[in-house]
Amino acid sequence: MSAGAIFGAIGLAGSVLQYRSTVASGKVQKTIMEAQARNKRLEGRVEAVKAKESANEILRRTKRALASNIARGYSSGVLPEVGSAAVFSEQQVLRPAALDVGILEQDAFLAIEQSEREAKNLEYRGAMAARQARTQAITGLVMNVAQVGLSGAFSGMNLGGGSGYSASALQGVSKAGTTNVPLPSGGRVGIGFGG
């Protein structure tokens, strides 16, 4: 085995190791992106829970305000369910509370939706990073193998198992370098010469 073949084999082994390292790096990148996606989903759920807690707090305050209005109405001898007391309760307490609760419920929904979109984007980026790493690794490996092959490192090795023929034997190349291809009996070939 020649020194060129040894160095070629070492170069190929290094290329294979680089291939494996690049693919592993892509897988790590994908795992990192998937973890970030899970965190984004959790952040969205946390934001949704915060919004729902705020909505629940508004509902608690609304109940207190309504109870206070009802108590004031009864203490002053006015029925709080009819007339101006009911209108006051609806306009000053219930309507703003309902609007705020509706907004907070939308915030909760949007927080989950946004986190889901961001998570899917991160997962996609992770999958693309893994694919790109694999493609880059394969391309690098092919280029390194081609480079080693072109450098002639394996020219002295019999990699094909020995077929027993050469191109010069098939073509009949003489020692002078001219081709000795036998011609048909007429000496000329081609459509114009009847061949």
> Quick check: helix, strand or coil at residue 80?
coil
Q: Give percent of the chain with pLDDT exceeding 70.
A: 69
Higher pLDDT, 79 or 158: 79
**88, burial (CB in 10 Å: exposed 0-12, middle 13-18, buried 19+):** middle
Rounded CA separation 129/92 (Å): 55
Residues 6+ apart with CB under 8 A from 173: 179, 180
Q: What is the pLDDT of residue 168?
A: 47
Give the tens place of pLDDT for each residue, 27-69: 999 999 999 999 999 999 999 999 999 999 999 988 888 888 7
Are the CB atoms for 32 and 126 separated by under 8 Å?
yes
pLDDT at 86 (0 to 100): 66
Which is higher by pLDDT, 156 or 42?
42
pLDDT band at 186 (very low <50, low <70, confident <90, very high): low
What's the mean pLDDT in 168-183?
Answer: 52
Model confidence at 175, pLDDT cuts 50, 70, 90, reads low
Task: Compute the half-sphere exposure of residue 171: CA atoms within 13 Å on the CB side of its CA.
Answer: 9
**In this predicted structure, what is the pLDDT of residue 179?**
53
What average pLDDT does the segment 112-135 reach?
93
pLDDT of residue 85: 64
Angle of the 95-150 helix axis to the 3-75 helix axis, nearest 10: 180
pLDDT of residue 146: 81
Which carries the bigger pLDDT value, residue 61 or residue 163? 61
CA dist., res. 31 & res. 18, Å (int): 20
Q: How far is CA 128 from CA 26, 87, 137, 151, in A?
A: 9, 60, 14, 34
Q: Which two tokens stand for residue 153?
A: 């490192």
For residue 159, pLDDT beyond 90: no
Which single residue is written with the structure tokens 């009864």?
74
Q: Is the pLDDT of residue 83 over 80?
A: no
Structure tokens at 104: 């907070």
Highest-confidence segment of 79-88, 102-111, 172-181: 102-111
